[in-house]
Amino acid sequence: MKVTIIGTGYVGLVTGACFAEVGNDVLCLDLDQAKVRTLEEGGLPIFEPGLLEIVGRNRAAGRLQFTTDVERAVRFGTVQCIAVGTPPGEDGAADLQHVLAAARGVGRHMTEYRVVVNKSTVPVGTAEKVRGTISAELGKRGVELPFAVVSNPEFLKEGAAVEDFMRPDRVVVGADDPQAVKIMRSLYAPFQRNHDRFFLMDARSAELTKYAANAMLATRISFMNELANLAELLGADVEQVRKGIGADPRIGYHFLGSCFPKDVKALIRTAGEAGGALPVLEAVERVNSGQKRVLARKILARFGGKLSGRRIAVWGLAFKPNTDDLREAPSRALIEELLANGATVSAYDPVAMPAAKSAFAALAGIRYADSPLAALDGADALAVVTEWQEFRSPDFRAVRERLKTPAIFDGRNLYDPEEMKRWGLEYHPIGRAATKAED
């Protein structure tokens, strides 16, 4: 099958590469010439484990191509997947300008039946807007051509996106056009050979399913964030509590971590526009937003509320391991807070430093180290923000020797408090009692 992917960001590139991997002919469209040039030269604009190999393999086989030519892209694929960004506006609503621009491009250049698939995370009702936009463009041309609009949200975890796409736990499709449904079933058949995970529903329900899933996950982590704060007040250990409640199969251990603020805000906005309210999610947003400031508050408290002249080492900049994505990353709030209070920052991340240099370009007082231990040189304390594997078992003797103050502020609870005490390190975790170094 011929498939066009509109947008070569995180969702678009993974989607295009994985469709090509099972034998489809895929053409990825992006208006960013520099990004397309990078892809044609064998590079990637994002980091995702396994993606470079799949892209390279399918480019070499001729199944995966890239272009900036809108007309060529629209005329290439029977399936047109829209996978462009929907950044939040100031009011929290998803910005659909790129989605609707993609729809206009399809309407201007299509010459035969097309299945237009919304893979971007979009508010409920976007399928109708896309349909109306395409119809308007066809009207301007004075032609009538058949097409269908389908909602097919992605449920990929950054850092495991290729695996998630190749072995999905669900394929949600919102469609009412029989021909489009048949095409979508055929497109996803190679990914569900052993079990049928194809969930067919109306487009509005499919759009809401994506937001509901992310909102539920955000609610779980906000609950754990509140328990962590309470555990500190009560002298309990939230890691033990996490194990105790996670053993209940109705709760489970998965996703007692991470948050989805953009989608929570957009869903709250959608409810308001429909005349409803989501007080639980409003509370979720407040809790998860406030939690990003906890590590900075601990550091400030340890140094008497004064950080002027202090240097803080930061391990981890990406919002989670195995990605270079800094959107909503806790490191952003921490670094901004540290700098605002007079500190300087020495940062290290195994993948995300190029993205960080761009994101923090306007901020003075940050330097980037070549290794985790190099980040500690001249630092007064260490803040662990992302749970990369290489941070899990560092040389604690070297950590202690390099830090001016042997203090670790662990935002991911990676280390055993008793072990930190034996190594002569102060340890300040989340939701657990802080420990002092043994003399």
Catalytic residues: 259
β-pairing verdict for 366-368 and 381-384: unpaired
Nearest to 187 by CA among 18, 7, 28, 9: 18
CB–CB of 165/20 below 8 Å? no
DSSP secondary structure letter of residue 88? B
Beta bridge partners of 27: 4, 65
Task: Determine the number of helices (DSSP H) and then strands (DSSP E) in the chain.
Answer: 18, 14
Distance CA 110, CA 148 (A): 12
Mapped onto helix, strand or coil, the DSSP state of residue 406 is coil
Rg (alpha carbons) of the chain, rounded to whole number: 24
Distance CA 390, CA 393 (A): 7
DSSP secondary structure letter of residue 390? G
| φ/ψ (deg, to 5) at 127 | -55, -40
β-pairing verdict for 79-82 and 426-428: unpaired
As given in the structure block, the two tokens for residue 354 are 């190029």
Mapped onto helix, strand or coil, the DSSP state of residue 202 is coil
As given in the structure block, the two tokens for residue 355 are 């993205």
Mapped onto helix, strand or coil, the DSSP state of residue 109 is helix
Write down how long the chain is.
439
Mapped onto helix, strand or coil, the DSSP state of residue 367 is strand
As given in the structure block, the two tokens for residue 338 are 């540290």
CB–CB of 215/413 below 8 Å? no
Distance CA 288, CA 335 (A): 17
